[in-house]
Amino acid sequence: MTETTTNAMWGGRFAAGPDAIMEAINASIGFDKRLAKQDIEGSRAHAAMLAATGILSDSDAEAIREGLLTVLSEIEAGTFRFSTALEDIHMNVEARLKEVIGEPAGRLHTGRSRNDQVATDFRLWVRDQVDAAIAGLEALMRALLVQAEAGADWVMPGFTHLQTAQPVTWGHHMMAYVEMFARDRSRFSDARTRMNECPLGAAALAGTSFPIDREMTARALGFDRPAANSLDAVSDRDFALEFLAAASICAMHLSRFAEELVIWSSAQFRFVRLSDRFSTGSSIMPQKKNPDAAELIRAKIGRIFGANVALMTVMKGLPLAYSKDMQEDKEQVFDAADTLMLALAAMEGMVRDMSANREALEAAAGSGFSTATDLADWLVRVLGLPFREAHHVTGSLVAMAEAGGVDLPDLTLEQMRSVHPGITADIFEVLGVHNSVASRMSYGGTAPAQVRAQIARWKEQLP
């Protein structure tokens, strides 16, 4: 087969033939250049340790450290020329370092491998993203607290199956998401604790014969300790998987909230008004105000779920220690992290800007026989009925009200007594939505006093 035929078979994308194909599939610089800061940070710590242990002269170590700062400044300024032929960020940085400082650059790689180098870089990067996610969640929680405090006693319908169930308060609903996102924050925090071990010094897979000080490099990079097993250190990507798992659960919560905002902002509900900053108009229908930011959050979440599955699939069949498959660990994580931070920022913005329609909330709170449970509870508490009998009596009263086209408070006392003669006029005290929510004083309940107590607790806990 001629070279021309080979090239035609592979297509115009690879005009130079199989060598170009191998370069394209093997190179990761197109995406792992995002690790430049972490790569240089790790190399500076490694050089300092090599000098402290006598493996590297002080003069060479100083040249390396200063040269790396020069390389970093070029990358940050956008003047650094990345080369696909050099495969990855590590070789790109090292090649440029050699151009800047000459022969000492060749000593930087003493006592390490690209395997422990990339494991360290990636772990540092993911750790930074965890910190960013925690900060984003806390900002969102603070925005929710503002909404909750403003409407701690505003009544609205609570739903099950998206059907009116019982009255709750706007503040209570907002605080439900505070609790939800607090668990996300906790998951990221837990993952950070587990990932905070340093792979640097594990070398290719077996450690090194040089008298390195792994405790020193771990401390310098902010890790709690060095990873205890060199095989595991270079082949572990649990830290990335845990980040994606926590991000996926957080993304699911964001999507649930986004769905509610889409429903609530509709003309049929009118529970909230989203700001113009997070809405768009229609190209043909001038009356439309579309909740596009919420819809895009709802859609983008799939990318995070997909990244989680993709990386688990990459890792599921790999023997110890390092395999080139693991080069496929980064693009999914990079994209998921970008998507998560964008979704968190957009949700925080929507929550800060949105205004709840108190009148529409209250009008909806009293519809759909939302105080039926209060009526049943009154029958148990005051008349001593077994709950199942009270449930049956209440169901009969709901059917009566429905047949008459009225709500429960609109029934007369005589109508109620026709179902159960023990009912007194006191029953009407529990049928109002404000009385209903005020009575839910159990811990974690929707009573305004309970909501305000939870708001105070979280305002004290959040930084």
**Cβ-count burial 304-314 (b if 16+ within 10 Å, e if not):** bbbbbebbeeb
454, 460 Cβ separation under 8 angstroms: no
**Token pair for 439:** 């009575």
- What totals of helices (H) and strands (E) does the chain contain, helices first? 19, 6
Whether 173 is catalytic is: no
Indicate which residue of 83, 266, 282, 323 is catalytic.
Answer: 282
The DSSP bridge pattern shows strands 163-169 and 197-198 to be unpaired
d(CA 315, CA 235): 9
Among residues 89, 71, 8, which one has the least CA distance to residue 330? 89
- Contacting residues for 437 by C-beta, under 8 A, at least 6 apart: 153, 155, 167, 168, 169, 172, 446, 447, 448
d(CA 224, CA 253): 31
Whether 253 is catalytic is: no
**Token pair for 330:** 């980064």
d(CA 201, CA 217): 8
- Contacting residues for 402 by C-beta, under 8 A, at least 6 apart: 369
Prior bond of 321 cis (ω within 30°): yes
Helix 18-26 and helix 3-10, axial crossing angle in degrees, nearest 10 = 40
Among residues 301, 132, 135, 320, which one has the least CA distance to residue 229? 320
Indicate which residue of 161, 209, 283, 442 is catalytic.
Answer: 161
Q: Give the active site residues.
A: 161, 282
